[in-house]
C-alpha cells in the first residue's frame, strides 16, 4: 500500500484575517494604476476626438504630368504655389532612406512617435548652450509640424508631441514616412524629395548617388540656408556631415564615403520641368482633379526634338513658331508633342498649341484624293493627267510657281504637288464625297461659314489640325486604316478605314520614291536605318502655313511652321521650310523595324499602259501606244484617260476616221477611191503645246478630201500670235533697269486666251485683245497662247543682254 505524504506546514503561518488585509493593501495601487491608465486612455481618446488629426488628402495639391517612363514633363503648382510630386518609400532610393533615418531618427521604427531620450538630450543641450541646439524631434514629430503649423514654443512642443502620438495611433510607420517624403520642405516652392530631386538634380529620387542622397536628407533641416543652387558650400558642408554619420554608423563603407565626398555639389537653377508644356496643359485641363497624369511621351526624345526645333527656328523670320507631332504607327501613341517653338514667348504666341490649331492644310490632302481615286478605279499610278491652264466652271487653279508641265502621270502630279491635275481628279471624285471620306478617316475639315465642299478644298480651301493630319497619314503604314493619336496609355485606340490596303500601299510607294533636294534629305532612300521615307509637303495661300508629313514603317511625323496669328511669311513654304526639319526629326527616331509596308497587298500589280489612251499596252496596237508606262494597278482596273470637259471640236482618245487612198479624211456623205478606216490616238487638247512634233503629227486629223463637207471632227480654229516673229532676237535698251516688255495678240481667237512664258502662266486676254508680257531674263524663251478648246500657237524668241 502506497503511503500518502502529509502537507508541510508553512512556517509562521498568518491568521486568515491578516492575509486578507495584506491582499487588499497590495491590490489598491494596482487598481489605482489601472484606473489611471484607463483615465489616460479615455483622455487621449477624448483629446483625439476634440482635436482630430487633419491629414493632407492624397488627391490634393499640385499636379505633375509625366512621360511614359515617369519623368516629369511639367508641374502645376497647387493653390499655394507648391510643387509636389507624390511618391512612396518604394519609389525612392534606398540610399536616401538610409541617410534620412540614420541622420534624423535612427530609432524611427522602435519608438511610439516620441523618443524620450532624444527629448531629454535636447533639453540638456539647450541648458548647456543657453539656446536650442537640438529639438529632439523624431521624424514623426517633424511630420506633425509639416502637416500643421505649430509654433516653436514650449506649448508648441507639447502640441507637437501630442500630434506625433496621434500619427502613430492612426498610421503605420510606412504611411508616416510617405507623408514626410511627400511634404518635407526643400526650399522655395519645392516640397517632397521627388520634386526636390527633379528640381535640383534633374533626375528621379530612385536614382540618387550616395552624395546626392546625403544632401537631400539634410536639406529640410534648413532649406533656405542649404539650397544647393544658392549656397553650394553650405550644402556641401551639411552633406559631408551626413556622410560622416553614415560612416560612423557603419552603414556605408569608407570607399563609398570617400567617393561621395569627392562628388561636387552641382544643382540646376530651381525650376519646374517644362517639356511638352502645351500637351501637359491640355491634359491638365481635361483632368483637373488628377494629381498624376502619365502620358505616352518619350522624355528624352521630346527634349531632343524641342532643342532641335528651337535651334532650327533661330534661322527663320521673327514671330515664327512650329509644331511637331510624332506618332508610333503600331500603337498610335504620341512620342513627341511640340505645340510651340518657345512656350510662353509672347512674340511667337507661345501659349497657342499649334498641334490642335485649325490651319489651312495646303496640299497635304492630295495623297488621300489620289488614293480614293485609285479605290474608285478612276486612275492607275501612271494615268495621264494634264497640267495646263483649265477652267472648272469658273474656278481656274494655278500651280504654286505658276508654271505648267502639260502631260504628267498621277505619280508625277502627286510628287510635284501639281494643283491643276489634283483639281481635275477631285472634279471626277466629287468634293462632297471626298470630304465625307476624310471625315470618316478622322480629318474633319472646317469650311468657311456658309460654304459647301468645293474644288478649292484640295488646295487648302478649308482648315484642319496637325494631329488630324498625322492620324490620317498613319493609314499609309497601317494598310489604309487611320487612327487618332493617343496621348495617355488609357486612351482607347480609335481607328477608321480611310483607304483600301492596296491604294494606301500604292500612294506610299509613290511618296517614298520622291527625291528631296533639301538639307537632311535621305541618302539612298533611308535615314538612320529607316526604310524610305514617304513624305508630302504643303503650303497654304499667302505663305501662311508650311507643312511636311513623313511616314516610315514605324513612325508618322508631322511638322507645321508658320505664324500663329495667321500673317504671311513670304518665301517660307513646305518644301524648303518644314521638310528639312521633318527629315531631321526622322533621323532622331529609333528604328522599330515593324515593317508594316513591306508586304505588297493582294490586288496590287504592275501593268504596262499606253499614253495617250491609257489602256493596257497588251491590248493597244503598237502604232497607237505613243508612250509606254509601267503602272501600279489596283484590283485589275486599267481606266482610260479622262475625257475632256467643255471641248466640242477636239475629242481626245481613240478616233476612227474614213480616208481615201491619199489619206485624206472623208466626211459622212463623202466617198473616195481606196476608202478605208484608220485609227488615231489623240492626246487631250490642252496637252498639245507640250507634245513633240512627232506626237503632235500622229495625233493630228488628216485633212478633209476636196469637196467633202466639214464634219464635227474638225480641229479647233487655228490662232496666230501677232507682234513678234518666230526666232526673233530682242535686246534690252542700254542702261535700262526695266524688264523688256512686248505686246502681243492672238489673232483668230474668239474666247479667253491663256498666255504662258516658258510654261509659266503670265495672264489672259479675250479674243484678239492685246496682251503685254515682260521678258526679265536674257536667254531663249517660248511664248504660248492657248485657248480653252485646245487651239494654240507658239513662238520661240531670244533675249540678248544689253
Question: What are the pLDDT digits (tens) for 572-628?
Answer: 888 899 999 999 999 999 875 544 455 899 999 999 999 999 999 999 999 999 999
pLDDT at 247 over 70: yes
Q: Which three cell numbers stand for residue 622?
A: 503598237
pLDDT, one tens digit per residue, over 521-574 is 665 555 545 567 999 999 998 889 999 999 999 999 999 999 999 999 888 888
Residue 462: predicted pLDDT: 94
Q: How confident is the model at residue 100 (pLDDT cuts 50, 70, 90)?
A: very high
Annotated active-site residue 363? The verdict is: yes
Alpha-helical regions (H) of 148-291: 154-170, 173-183, 193-196, 210-218, 223-226, 232-248, 254-262, 277-286
Q: Is 70 exceeded by the pLDDT of residue 87?
A: yes
Which of 261, 226, 222 has its CA nearest to residue 244?
261
**Could you please report the per-residue DSSP string of 354-418?**
TTSS-B--TTTTHHHHHHHHHHTTS--TT-EEEES---BTTB----TTSB--EEEEHHHHHHTT-
492-516 pLDDT tens trace: 999 999 999 999 999 999 999 988 7
Residues 710-730, mean pLDDT to the nearest whole number: 78
Give me the catalytic one of 104, 194, 306, 644: 104
What is the per-residue pLDDT across 278-316, written as a single tens digit (0 to 9) for each? 999 999 999 988 888 999 999 999 999 999 999 999 889
Q: What pLDDT is attached to residue 55?
A: 83
pLDDT for 697 equals 85
The string of pLDDT tens digits covering residues 632-663 is: 999 999 999 998 775 544 556 888 889 999 99
Secondary-structure class of domain 63-262 per CATH: mainly alpha
What is the domain partition of the chain in residue ranges? 63-262, 296-359+465-498+506-601, 604-634, 645-715, 720-800
The tens digit of pLDDT for each residue in 158-201 reads: 888 888 898 988 999 999 999 999 999 998 888 999 989 988 88
Check residues 589 and 802 and name the one with the higher pLDDT: 589
Rounded percentage of the chain residues whose pLDDT exceeds 70: 86
How far is residue 201's CA from residue 186's CA, in Å, rounded to a whole number?
13
- In this predicted structure, the answer to whether residue 124 has a pLDDT above a threshold of 80 is no
Residues 244-260: what's their mean pLDDT?
94
Task: Give the residue-averaged pLDDT of 233-253.
Answer: 94
**Does residue 460 surpass a pLDDT of 80?**
yes
In this prediction, residue 118 carries a pLDDT of 66
pLDDT score at 596: 46
User: What pLDDT is recorded for position 229?
Assistant: 87
Confidence at residue 598, expressed as pLDDT on a 0 to 100 scale: 59
CATH architecture of 720-800: Sandwich (2.60)
Contact call for residues 283 and 295 (beta carbons, < 8 A): yes
**296-359+465-498+506-601 and 720-800 in the same fold:** no
The 10s digit of each residue's pLDDT in 67-80 is 999 888 998 887 77
Q: Rounded mean pLDDT of the chain?
A: 86
State the pLDDT at residue 592.
Answer: 54
User: Among 182, 179, 132, which residue's Cα sits nearest to residue 157?
Assistant: 132
CA atoms of 536 and 532, how far apart (whole Å): 13
Q: What is the pLDDT of residue 53?
A: 81
Average pLDDT over residues 339-362: 90
The pLDDT, as a whole number, for residue 713 is: 73
Model confidence at 155: pLDDT above 80: yes
State pTM to two decimals. Answer: 0.81
What pLDDT sits at residue 48?
Answer: 64
pLDDT category, 666, cuts 50, 70, 90? very high
pLDDT of residue 16 exceeding 80, the answer is: no
Residue with cell 557603419: 250
251-267: average pLDDT: 92
State yes or no: pLDDT of 82 exceeds 60: yes
Q: pLDDT band for position 725 (50/70/90)?
A: confident
CA distance 699 to 790: 13
HSE-up (13 A, CA, CB side) for residue 102: 20
> Greater confidence, 61 or 675?
675
**In which band, very low, low, confident or very high, does the pLDDT at 31 lie, cut at 50, 70 and 90?**
low
Assigned CATH for 296-359+465-498+506-601: 3.40.710.10
Q: Hunting for cell 514654443 — which residue is that?
A: 153
Q: Is the per-residue pLDDT at 271 higher than 80? A: no
Q: Is the confidence at residue 244, as pLDDT, over 80?
A: yes
- 3-state secondary structure at position 39: helix
Helix (H) or strand (E) holding 752, with range, is: strand 752-757
Top mean-pLDDT range of 81-95, 108-122, 163-177, 480-494: 480-494
Does the structure show a pLDDT above 90 at 414? yes
More confident residue, 689 or 788: 689
Pick the catalytic residue from 62, 363, 540, 667. 363
* pLDDT range class, residue 156, cuts 50, 70, 90: confident
- 197 catalytic? Reply is no
Amino acid at each position: 500500500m502506497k503511503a500518502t505524504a502529509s502537507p508541510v506546514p508553512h512556517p509562521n503561518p498568518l491568521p486568515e484575517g491578516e492575509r486578507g488585509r495584506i491582499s487588499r493593501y497590495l491590490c489598491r495601487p494596482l487598481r489605482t494604476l489601472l484606473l489611471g491608465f484607463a483615465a489616460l486612455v479615455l483622455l487621449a481618446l477624448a483629446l483625439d476626438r476634440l482635436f482630430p488629426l487633419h491629414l493632407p488628402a492624397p488627391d490634393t495639391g499640385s499636379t505633375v504630368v509625366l512621360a511614359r517612363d515617369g519623368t516629369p514633363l511639367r508641374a502645376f503648382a497647387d493653390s499655394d504655389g507648391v510643387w509636389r510630386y507624390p511618391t512612396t518609400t518604394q519609389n525612392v532610393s534606398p540610399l536616401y532612406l538610409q541617410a534620412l533615418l540614420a541622420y534624423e531618427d535612427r530609432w524611427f521604427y522602435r519608438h511610439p512617435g516620441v523618443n524620450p531620450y532624444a527629448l531629454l538630450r535636447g533639453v540638456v543641450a539647450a541648458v548647456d548652450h543657453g539656446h536650442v541646439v537640438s529639438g529632439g524631434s523624431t521624424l514623426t514629430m517633424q511630420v506633425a509640424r509639416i502637416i500643421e503649423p505649430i509654433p516653436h514654443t514650449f506649448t508648441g512642443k507639447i502640441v507637437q508631441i501630442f500630434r506625433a502620438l496621434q500619427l502613430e495611433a492612426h498610421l503605420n510607420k510606412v504611411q508616416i514616412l510617405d507623408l514626410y517624403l511627400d511634404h518635407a520642405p526643400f526650399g522655395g516652392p519645392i516640397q517632397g524629395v521627388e520634386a526636390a530631386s527633379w528640381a535640383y538634380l534633374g533626375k528621379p529620387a530612385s536614382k540618387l548617388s550616395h552624395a546626392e542622397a546625403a544632401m537631400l536628407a539634410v536639406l529640410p533641416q534648413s532649406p533656405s540656408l542649404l539650397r544647393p543652387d544658392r549656397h553650394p558650400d553650405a550644402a556641401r558642408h551639411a552633406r559631408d556631415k551626413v556622410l560622416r554619420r553614415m560612416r560612423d554608423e557603419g552603414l556605408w563603407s569608407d570607399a563609398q564615403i570617400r567617393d561621395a565626398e569627392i562628388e561636387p555639389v552641382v544643382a540646376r537653377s530651381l525650376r519646374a520641368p517644362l517639356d511638352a508644356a502645351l500637351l501637359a496643359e491640355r491634359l491638365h485641363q481635361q483632368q483637373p482633379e488628377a494629381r498624376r497624369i502619365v502620358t505616352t511621351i518619350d522624355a528624352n526624345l521630346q527634349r531632343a526634338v524641342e532643342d532641335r526645333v528651337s535651334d532650327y527656328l533661330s534661322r527663320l523670320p521673327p514671330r515664327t513658331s512650329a509644331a511637331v507631332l510624332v506618332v508610333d504607327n503600331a500603337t498610335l501613341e504620341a512620342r513627341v508633342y511640340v505645340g510651340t517653338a518657345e512656350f510662353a514667348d509672347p512674340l511667337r504666341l507661345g501659349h497657342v498649341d499649334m498641334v490642335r490649331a485649325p490651319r489651312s492644310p495646303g496640299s497635304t490632302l492630295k495623297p488621300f484624293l489620289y488614293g480614293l481615286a485609285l479605290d474608285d478605279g478612276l486612275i492607275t499610278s501612271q494615268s495621264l493627267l494634264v497640267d495646263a491652264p483649265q477652267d472648272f466652271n469658273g474656278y481656274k487653279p494655278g500651280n504654286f510657281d505658276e508654271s505648267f508641265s502639260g502631260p504628267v502621270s498621277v505619280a508625277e502630279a502627286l510628287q510635284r504637288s501639281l494643283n491643276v491635275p489634283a483639281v481635275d481628279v477631285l472634279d471626277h471624285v466629287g468634293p462632297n464625297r471626298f470630304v465625307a471620306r476624310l471625315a470618316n478617316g478622322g480629318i474633319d475639315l472646317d469650311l468657311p461659314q456658309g460654304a459647301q465642299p468645293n474644288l478649292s478644298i484640295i488646295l487648302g480651301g478649308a482648315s484642319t489640325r496637325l494631329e488630324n493630319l498625322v492620324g490620317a497619314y498613319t493609314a499609309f503604314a497601317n494598310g489604309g486604316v487611320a487612327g487618332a493619336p493617343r496621348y495617355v496609355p488609357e486612351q482607347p485606340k480609335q481607328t477608321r478605314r480611310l483607304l483600301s490596303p492596296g491604294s494606301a500601299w500604292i500612294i506610299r510607294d509613290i511618296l517614298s520614291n520622291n527625291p528631296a533636294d533639301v538639307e537632311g534629305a535621305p541618302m539612298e532612300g533611308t535615314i538612320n536605318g529607316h526604310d524610305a521615307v514617304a513624305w508630302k509637303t504643303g503650303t497654304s495661300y499667302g505663305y501662311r502655313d508650311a507643312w511636311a508629313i513623313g511616314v516610315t514603317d514605324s513612325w508618322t511625323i508631322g511638322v507645321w511652321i508658320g505664324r500663329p496669328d495667321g500673317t504671311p511669311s513670304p518665301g517660307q513654304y513646305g518644301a524648303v521650310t518644314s521638310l528639312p526639319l521633318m527629315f531631321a526629326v526622322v533621323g532622331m527616331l529609333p528604328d522599330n523595324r515593324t515593317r508594316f509596308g513591306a508586304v505588297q497587298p493582294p490586288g496590287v500589280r504592275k501593268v504596262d499602259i499606253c499614253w495617250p489612251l491609257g489602256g493596257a499596252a497588251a491590248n493597244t496596237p503598237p502604232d497607237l501606244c505613243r508612250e509606254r508606262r509601267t503602272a501600279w494597278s489596283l484590283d485589275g482596273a486599267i481606266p482610260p484617260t479622262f475625257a475632256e470637259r467643255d471641248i466640242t471640236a477636239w475629242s481626245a482618245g481613240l478616233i476612227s476616221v474614213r480616208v481615201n487612198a491619199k489619206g485624206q479624211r472623208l466626211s459622212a456623205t463623202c466617198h473616195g477611191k481606196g476608202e478605208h478606216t484608220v485609227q488615231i490616238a489623240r492626246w487631250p487638247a490642252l496637252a498639245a503645246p507640250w507634245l513633240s512634233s512627232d506626237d503632235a503629227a500622229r495625233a493630228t486629223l488628216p485633212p478633209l478630201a476636196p469637196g467633202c463637207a466639214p464634219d464635227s471632227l474638225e480641229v479647233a480654229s487655228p490662232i496666230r500670235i501677232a507682234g513678234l516673229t518666230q526666232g526673233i532676237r530682242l535686246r534690252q535698251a542700254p542702261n535700262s533697269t526695266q524688264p523688256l516688255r512686248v505686246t502681243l495678240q492672238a489673232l483668230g481667237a474668239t474666247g479667253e486666251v491663256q498666255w504662258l512664258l516658258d510654261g509659266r502662266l503670265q495672264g489672259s486676254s479675250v479674243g484678239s485683245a492685246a496682251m503685254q508680257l515682260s521678258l526679265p531674263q536674257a536667254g531663249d524663251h517660248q511664248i504660248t497662247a492657248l485657248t480653252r478648246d485646245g487651239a494654240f500657237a507658239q513662238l520661240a524668241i531670244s533675249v540678248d543682254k544689253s
